[in-house]
Structure 1
Amino acid sequence: MIVRRFLLWARTANAEARASGAAALAGAYLHSGMSDEDRREAETALIALIDDPSPLVRRAIAEEVATSPRAPRALILNLIAEQSDVNALVLAHSPVLTEADLVDAAAVGDALAQRAIAQRPCLPTSVAAALAEVGCEEALLALAGNRSAWMPSFSLERMFERAGGSGALREALLARNDLPAGLRQAIAGRMSDALASFVSGCGWLTPERSARLARESTERVAVALAAGGEDSDAPAIVECLRENGRLTPGLMLRSLLSVEPALAEAAFSSLSGLPLARVSAILRDRSGASLRGLYRKAGMPGSLLPAFAAAIAALNISGFERVSGTQGIDRAIMASVMSCCESLEGSEADSLNGLLRRLDAEAAREEARLMADAFADDAALALLVEADPSLLVELDEADLRSAA
């Protein structure tokens, strides 16, 4: 009877009063001890109020029931069919909605609805996959930033495939810990290309120069990712590079010169069809007996064989493990390779030596930068000690504790 009187009152009340009354009725349904008959009438009344001419009423009901597991399913389904500011409240929070409901809502919803779904905590895999396939850029950005969403690798790849031109999306994807190594490499390549295009478009560098810098940046990232990830990362990165036409002999040589052979090994394995363990054994064979056969089977250019042979020979002497704390191209190995190749003649040899000189210049610049940073740190420390000599005692004690 109370519900019936409420509906009679609602016929003449103003919009604000109806919205307040609808919220009170929804709250009573969820939290008070109504009889079964009154609950049925209240549910019917709430569903009927969705047809109220004022959006204030629908929003008031949505705000009251959005987070409740006791909300009537029929009411929730009707609310998600309403305008965006109403359905987004329910889509973002309602525990009543099933995976199928959310997938369907993602397919037919606008940007606000899709973003609301993308922000749901612990978003199921099926819903995340649906959004990755049909979501707008705004929804994809929200999905990428949802750390609790259960995202399969193929969905992350699909998001990048559809909206990889968005810098914000690339940044959000790179911030995820579950991003596949191959996809991380693809994003790094896209970012390098975008930067090169911007720089050349501004007239700061020629297109050729900016393209070379972008390629070198992408190569450094690829070597670092392959070396610093799991055992399965290097093959995935290599496949990504092959698909995008970025797996070059120069990149493989850089991997060896940087004493980070994971990428070069995975590349030789992929190109030759030999198992990774077999490739690793060939590269670590000091006699070099099988290297030429591996090189030829991988379809590598003959002009670069002397450089590869010299780099691998140097690695077998110095070791394939990088010294802790170092990074970039190893200048000792670089010098050994340049010494072996400087006597070569012909146009192909000129191109090879040009490549080696560029890599050596890059290594020298990185070495100088690190040394300059170290000098600056020493100078800053000296000034601090000069200002407060007691710091020297504290530093000595800290060194002794560290050594112990």
Structure 2
Amino acid sequence: MIVRRFLLWARTANAEARASGAAALAGAYLRSGMADEDRREAETALISLVDDPSPLVRRAIAEEMAASPQAPRTLVLSLIADQSDVAALMLAHSPVLTEADLVDAAAVGDDLAQRAIALRPNLAASVAAALAEVGGDEALVTLAGNPTADIPDFSLERMVERAGACGPLREALLARGDLPGGLRQVIATMVSDTLMSFVTGCGWLTPERSARLTREATERVAVALAAGGEASDAPAIAEVLRADGRLTPGLMLRSLLSGEPALAEAAFVMLSELPQPRVAALLRDRRGTGLKALYRKAGLPRALQPAFTAAITALNLRGFDAGGNGRGIDRVILREVLIACETLEGPDTDALMGLLRRMDSEAAREEARTMADALADDAALALFVEADPALLVELEIGDLRDAA
């Protein structure tokens, strides 16, 4: 009887009053112990109110029903077909919606609806895949920023294919811990190319200088990604670089000179078409047995072979898999390569020595930056101690505790 009186009252009430009444009815349906007949009448009334001309009424119902698993499915499906701000409430929160419902809604919804779906916690892979195919840029950014969304690798690739030019999307994807290494390299290359076009277009650098700086930046990122990721990342990154024509001997040499040979090793496997265990054994053989044959099998330039041989020898002396210094080019390894190559003669020697000297200059600058940071830290500490000498005592006590 109460529900019937509500429906009679709603015929003449204004929109604000109807919205308030609809919210109260929805709340009572979800939380009060209605008799079965009253509950059926309340459900009928709520479904009829979905056709109310005022969005205030429909939104009020959506706000009450959005998070409830007891919401009538017919009502929920009606609300997700409503205008965007009403539908978004249900799409973002309703546990009543199935994966199929969400896939369909993603296909026909506008940007707000797609973003609402992308926000859902623990979003299923099928829904994420649908958004990756049809979602607008903002929806894709939202999806990439959802840490609990199960986004398949092929869908991550599709997002980059469709909207890789979108800076916020690239940033959101790079922040994901599950982004494959190969795709990180694709995004890094996009960023480098965008920056190159910008500085060249502004006339700040010549095209040649800009291209060189971009190439070197891309190489540094590739080496770091291959070294710091999963074992499968290096081959994936090498494949991306080869597809782009960027898997160069210079990049492989940089990987070795950085003390991070994962990328170079993956490249040797790819170029030589030898089994990975065989390549790994040849590179780690301190006697150098078969290294010349591996180099030739990979089809690398003969002029660079002394540099590769010296770098691999230096790596094996310290431990091939010992890891780099974390600052890029390792000048200890580079020094051995320079010594091995400085007496070479031939038409390609100048180009090789020019490459090595640029890498040496790059490493020297990085060392200088690191030292400058350390000196600045020392100066800051000295100022603190000068202002409060007791701080020095506290630091010394802390060091003693750590030593103990």
**Separation (CA, whole Å) in 2 of partners of 1:377 and 1:58:** 60
Unaligned runs of 5+ in 1: none
**Separation (CA, whole Å) in 1 of partners of 2:403 and 2:253:** 38
Does residue 129 in structure 1 map to residue 126 in structure 2?
no
Distance change (3 Å), C-alpha of 1:392 and 1:35: closer
Which residue number corresponds to residue 156 of structure 1? Answer: 156
SS in 1 for 2:348: helix
**Separation (CA, whole Å) in 2 of partners of 1:28 and 1:261:** 66
Which residue number corresponds to residue 293 of structure 2? Answer: 293
Deviation sequence 1:275-334 (CA, Å, 0-9, x none): 222112111222323112111221212221121112112222233244775532111221
Distance change (3 Å), C-alpha of 1:180 and 1:326: closer
**Separation (CA, whole Å) in 1 of partners of 2:194 and 2:351:** 27
1:357 counterpart letter in structure 2: R
Which residue number corresponds to residue 171 of structure 2? Answer: 171
Q: Percent identity?
A: 76
Does residue 327 in structure 1 map to residue 327 in structure 2?
yes
Which residue number corresponds to residue 380 of structure 1? Answer: 380
Structure 1 residue 363 displacement after superposition: 1.0
Does residue 356 in structure 1 map to residue 356 in structure 2?
yes
Unaligned runs of 5+ in 2: none
Structure 1 residue 206 displacement after superposition: 1.5
* TM-score normalised per structure 2: 0.94
Does residue 4 in structure 1 map to residue 15 in structure 2?
no
Distance change (3 Å), C-alpha of 1:32 and 1:397: closer
Structure 1 residue 219 displacement after superposition: 1.0
Distance change (3 Å), C-alpha of 1:395 and 1:22: closer
* TM-score normalised per structure 1: 0.94
**Separation (CA, whole Å) in 1 of partners of 2:13 and 2:394:** 77
1:223 counterpart letter in structure 2: V
Bigger shift: 312-321 or 294-303? Answer: 312-321
Q: What's the C-alpha RMSD, in Å, of the aligned pairs?
A: 1.9
**Separation (CA, whole Å) in 1 of partners of 2:379 and 2:193:** 38
Correspondences of 1:221-240 after superposition (within 5 Å): 221-240=221-240
Distance change (3 Å), C-alpha of 1:48 and 1:342: same
Structure 1 residue 269 displacement after superposition: 0.8
**Separation (CA, whole Å) in 2 of partners of 1:216 and 1:33:** 70
Correspondences of 1:84-233 after superposition (within 5 Å): 84-233=84-233
Which residue number corresponds to residue 17 of structure 2? Answer: 17
**Separation (CA, whole Å) in 1 of partners of 2:318 and 2:126:** 50
Structure 1 residue 357 displacement after superposition: 1.3
Structure 1 residue 254 displacement after superposition: 0.4
2:255 counterpart letter in structure 1: S
Which residue number corresponds to residue 309 of structure 2? Answer: 309
Distance change (3 Å), C-alpha of 1:205 and 1:2: same
SS in 2 for 1:260: coil
Bigger shift: 138-147 or 394-403? Answer: 394-403
**Separation (CA, whole Å) in 2 of partners of 1:392 and 1:320:** 41
Distance change (3 Å), C-alpha of 1:64 and 1:376: closer
**Separation (CA, whole Å) in 2 of partners of 1:392 and 1:36:** 76
2:161 counterpart letter in structure 1: E
Correspondences of 1:68-83 after superposition (within 5 Å): 68-83=68-83
Structure 1 residue 398 displacement after superposition: 3.3
Bigger shift: 178-187 or 367-376? Answer: 367-376
Distance change (3 Å), C-alpha of 1:116 and 1:155: same
**Separation (CA, whole Å) in 2 of partners of 1:81 and 1:310:** 68
Count of residue correspondences? 404
